[in-house]
A = this chain, B = another copy of it.
Amino acid sequence: MIRAIVLGGSRGIVKAISESLKSIGCEVFAASKSDIDTSNMNSVKKFLEIHDQTDVLVLNTGGPVAKEFVNITEDDWKLYHNQLFLGFCKILQNMKINEGGYIFLISSSVIKEPNSKLIISSAYRAAFSEVFKILSKSYAEKNISCINIAPGLINTDRTRELIENIKEYEKSLPMKRLGEPEEIGNFVKSIIQNNIKYLSGVVINFDGANSNYIF
């Protein structure tokens, strides 16, 4: 039985991942914010006392508030530094991923094409992506794969908060639609189901051909 811990598991992308993993018989712990608040180091510590190992870990957290650079306070930076970076580091420092396991990071397409409205997210998600890349090499020795999924605009509550007129916005996208959470859910499921291990240390943009850079 494969055991999975999915952070932020009650909505959107990770809800789809949880459902998808359950459909192939994984035992999924979908941690909600009451189980673990990655912006609070005590909460992270307590969570780790109970959940100290897993086969599959899905790192995810809600996106920060959209704020212009000049309006971001020291407290904002520190809060999201905890939430998007430090909490994840603590988890990887203290949770045992079992041999042959997987770590999925749900980051964002802004790590490669940063966005002025999402400047906090661009910064800290990129920071953690660096850590994740580095660690992929040592995890590889234990046959653990590290996959950084960088979604573009997915059909979630979060996207509906960020974009005012979704219908209009969708017309500007190459596929004329947002991505569906289930597409990412099924993607994650397939990797595990087929025991695909050599896909590791990689950032996978999931944005319906919307980005413009070559690599």
Interface residues in A, total, Cβ within 8 A: 78
Instruction: State whether the Cβ of A54 lies closer than 8 Å to any Cβ in chain B.
Output: no
Instruction: State whether the Cβ of A166 lies closer than 8 Å to any Cβ in chain B.
Output: no
Question: Could you say how many copies of this chain the assembly holds?
Answer: 4
Instruction: State whether the Cβ of A99 lies closer than 8 Å to any Cβ in chain B.
Output: no
> Contacts A123-B127, A199-B206, A206-B198; is A214 near B113 (CB within 8 Å)?
yes
Nearest chain B CB to A152 CB, angstrom units:
8
Instruction: State whether the Cβ of A34 lies closer than 8 Å to any Cβ in chain B.
Output: no
Instruction: State whether the Cβ of A18 lies closer than 8 Å to any Cβ in chain B.
Output: no
The residues of A with any CB-CB pair to B shorter than 8 Å are 41, 69-70, 72, 74, 77-78, 81, 85-86, 89-90, 92-93, 111-116, 119, 122-124, 126-131, 133-141, 143, 145-146, 152, 154, 174-176, 179-180, 183-184, 186-187, 189-191, 193-194, 196-215
